[in-house]
Chains A and B, each alone.
Chain A
Amino acid sequence: MAIPISQMWTVSSYVLKNKLLGKKRYPLVLMLEPLFRCSLACAGCGKVQYPPHILKKQLTPAECFAAIDECGAPMVSIPGGEPLLHPQIVEIVNGLIARKKYIYLCTNALELKRRLPEFTPSKYLTFSVHLDGLREHHDFAVCREGTYDIAVAGIQEAVRRGFRVTTNATFFDGADPNSARAFFDEVMRMGVEGIVLSPGYSYEKAPDQTHFMGRARVRRLFRSILSNRKPTWKFNMSPLFLEFLMGDRNYECVPWGMPAFNIFGWQRPCYLLQEGYAESYAELLATTKWEEYGVASGNPKCANCMVSCGYETPAVMDGFGSWKGFVAMVKGNFNKYPDAHALKMLDEAAPHAPAALVQIAQPVEEALEETRA
């Protein structure tokens, strides 16, 4: 597992402390969305389909700090929208670092190289760069050619300057496991600390899509991708969560573990569903009907979800909350998960590369200037 010891110590002591205190529900990661505006227009995205007056709104640094101070999570993920479009993102990041929070700033990296001089490398700050696969796959996924090369240049510059960098990829139905594995080789060569990955999920606010992978298909895909691991691969995720994706473990959804806060308030019940908002984390905990969510509830909206915002928290709690879980987690760090059947699945997987993108006339920098305006 590519996570520094100081971060593991912070998280493990936090989990143990809450366990000793007998707390039933507590947050592990605050999903802090300071804005929904983005410099990309990915088809199917559920976070950017808002009227312009909503896309222009953003959280103030004070609102961000009040949210983390109230919930007390040891880690903060900053998705969006594109956080680097927020004019006060440096102030927000520095305020979180001053609070000793481990930050994952999720970015498409189109602005990363230009903005890096404004940030200071810290063990608390990780740039989590959105890359959905190799060049053609990524450019097709984000609906614009040239983005992969810009993102990679941003990654390389961030690594060179001593920042912590991970990549994060979402795999949808039809993903080619062989290509995913080649992508892992490629990003590790870039010098990143580790890889973050997730199965796709339908955001309620997203444009309609015909279907998503069900659990059986998700497990088959991740078993073929994550078995027979190469020694160079490192993952910035709980090994137990990866085993969950591969179908080796079962967890129940823990939506309060990664609460989402944005311009609307505290999102109910999780980062993916939008069934109202609470004014405070305490109100979110007290007034959400948690029993109506997660696989065990039978709620069809939760039926295909295996996403980290619901299922990585129980994996982390399992790993740091019991000796049995801890031993399994340590073993998971060294296990290459040899699996002959998974190798056979890789052999049988048809190549699934998208058609080559043609050159897009409008340069990406020009499009970015329009977005900044």
Chain B
Amino acid sequence: MTAEVHKYTLQEVEALEVAPGTQHENLEGWNPQLTSDEDLRGVLDKALDYRGDVTLTLKSGERIEAFIFNCQSGPTLAESFVQYYTPSASEKRKVGFAEIASVEFTGKDRAAGKHWEDWVKKYNEKKAAGETNIGLTPEALD
């Protein structure tokens, strides 16, 4: 947790009527320019929260399509790493921050358009239009 995050007091927590929902940035297609170590750390933090694949370009020139699920940020880049799965390999992989040249948000954001409010709106619109095929089914995996 970063220092600038507002910390609730116990009194505030107990009196909460509603709590704000999570707000995610629209990152799909983003290709940030990294000019400092802090930029890299910030972008990898966003990649950890991203609900899709990213493409990592390493300083060696290798490009890796990856779903990042773990980000361990240490005092130096050499002590920091991300863990990820690729679409083509079954095992977890790891790469150090120091090896990463760029991060592109190339994969589809899998949560976009799937808000509860989206479903309610879609349902009401389709119902008003007289449609009978209203419902959500999982996306095909292939």
Residue positions of A touching B, CB distance < 8 A? 37-44, 48-57, 140, 143-145, 173, 202-217, 263-265, 274, 276-277, 292, 295-300, 303-304, 355, 357-362, 367, 370-371
A300 — which chain B residues lie within 8 A by C-beta?
A: 5-8
Q: Is the interface of A mostly helix, strand, loop or mixed?
A: loop
Q: How many residue pairs, one in A and one in B, have C-beta atoms under 8 Å apart?
A: 187
9 closest pairs, A vs B, by CB?
A: A214-B16, A298-B7, A304-B19, A43-B119, A209-B21, A44-B116, A53-B87, A361-B133, A143-B136
A214 — which chain B residues lie within 8 A by C-beta?
A: 13, 15-19
Partner of A143, one of B92, B108, B135: B135
Q: Does B69 contact A (CB under 8 A)?
A: yes
Partner of B67, one of A44, A50, A295, A360: A50
User: Contact at B136–A370, with CB atoms within 8 Å?
Assistant: no
Bitwise interface map of B from 100 to 121 toward A, beta carbon under 8 Å scored 1, else 0 = 0000000110111111111110
User: Contact at A298–B9, with CB atoms within 8 Å?
Assistant: yes
Partner of A209, one of B22, B52, B123: B22
With both beta carbons as reference points, the residue of chain A lying nearest to B89 in the complex is identified as A53
Say how far B134's CB is from chain A's closest CB, in angstroms: 6
Q: Does B57 contact A (CB under 8 A)?
A: no
Bound form: Cα–Cα A362–B22 in Å: 32
Bound form: Cα–Cα A184–B86 in Å: 45
Partner of A264, one of B69, B123, B141: B69
Q: With A43-B118, A295-B10 in contact, do A51 and B19 touch (Cβ < 8 Å)?
A: no
B9 — which chain A residues lie within 8 A by C-beta?
A: 298
Q: Does B49 contact A (CB under 8 A)?
A: yes
